[in-house]
């Protein structure tokens, strides 16, 4: 077994084995372990950091968007409430105005009505009076034509009045 032989006997190749191992391994350690590895690790670290930063930025942007949406929602709520209030105010004002106008018109109409009623009443009274005199004349005429008797106007008037008013 050559592996064991080099340890026991005074072997020629143990020294070369150890020498070349140390040379090669030292070379690997210096060039690859100390030279290349830290650069590769730095690349990986930089990438990890970039990813973490990007994620944090995305999170912050997300939060900002959420805040923006919240304020937008609040604003839109507030403006909607204001609009509703304005509408309600306008409605109330319109209703009050209409009421006021209606009341005014109502009063005017009432005045007109009472005036008309009094007019009608006076007209009626005068009409009644006219009817009485006309009826009395007609009645005295009729009496004169039928019986030839002359009826005094005052009598005819009293008779007509009695008939008309029961």
Specify the stretch interacting with other proteins by CB under 8 A; choose among 38-46, 82-90, 93-101, 129-137. 38-46
Q: Which of 44, 95, 116, 144 binds other proteins (CB under 8 A)?
A: 44
State how far the Cα of 127 lies from the Cα of 108, in Å rounded to an integer: 28
Contact 6, 14 (CB under 8 A): yes
Q: Is 43 in the site for other proteins (CB under 8 A)?
A: yes
Q: Is 9 in the site for other proteins (CB under 8 A)?
A: no
Q: Is 22 in the site for other proteins (CB under 8 A)?
A: yes
Q: Is 144 in the site for other proteins (CB under 8 A)?
A: no
Residue 13 has a CB neighbour count (10 Å cut-off) of 11
Tell me the DSSP string of 54-81.
Answer: HHHHHHHHHHHHHHHHHHHHHHHHHHHH
Q: Is 13 in the site for other proteins (CB under 8 A)?
A: yes
- The least CB distance from residue 13 to other proteins, in Å, is 4
Q: Is 15 in the site for other proteins (CB under 8 A)?
A: yes
Q: Which of 8, 29, 78, 153 binds other proteins (CB under 8 A)?
A: 29
- Phi, psi torsion values for 10, nearest 5 degrees: -80, 85
State how far the Cα of 19 lies from the Cα of 136, in Å rounded to an integer: 168
Specify the stretch interacting with other proteins by CB under 8 A; choose among 35-43, 58-66, 75-83, 133-141. 35-43
- The least CB distance from residue 39 to other proteins, in Å, is 6
**Distance of CA 45 to CAs 5, 41, 42, 48, 166, Å?**
47, 6, 5, 5, 126
Cβ proximity to other proteins: between 42 and 120 the closer is 42
**Burial of 156: CB neighbours in 10 Å, binned 0-12, 13-18, 19+:** buried
- The least CB distance from residue 24 to other proteins, in Å, is 4
Specify the stretch interacting with other proteins by CB under 8 A; choose among 8-16, 115-123, 141-149, 152-160. 8-16
């Amino acid at each position: 077994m050559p592996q064991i032989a080099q340890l026991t006997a005074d072997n020629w190749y143990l020294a070369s084995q150890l020498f070349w191992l140390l040379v090669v391994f030292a070379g690997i350690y210096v060039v690859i372990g100390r030279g290349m590895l830290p650069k590769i690790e730095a690349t990986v670290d930089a990438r990890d950091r970039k990813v973490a930063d990007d994620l944090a930025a995305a999170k912050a942007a997300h939060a900002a968007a959420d805040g923006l949406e919240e304020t937008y929602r609040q604003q839109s709520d507030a403006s909607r409430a204001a609009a509703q209030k304005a509408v309600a105010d306008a409605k109330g004002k319109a209703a009050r105005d209409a009421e006021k106008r209606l009341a005014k018109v109502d009063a005017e109409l009432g005045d007109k009505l009472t005036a008309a009623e009094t007019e009608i009443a006076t007209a009626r009274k005068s009409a009644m009076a006219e009817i009485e005199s006309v009826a009395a004349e007609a009645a005295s005429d009729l009496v004169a034509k039928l019986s030839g008797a002359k009826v005094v106007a005052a009598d005819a008037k009293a008779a007509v009045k009695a008939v008309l008013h029961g």
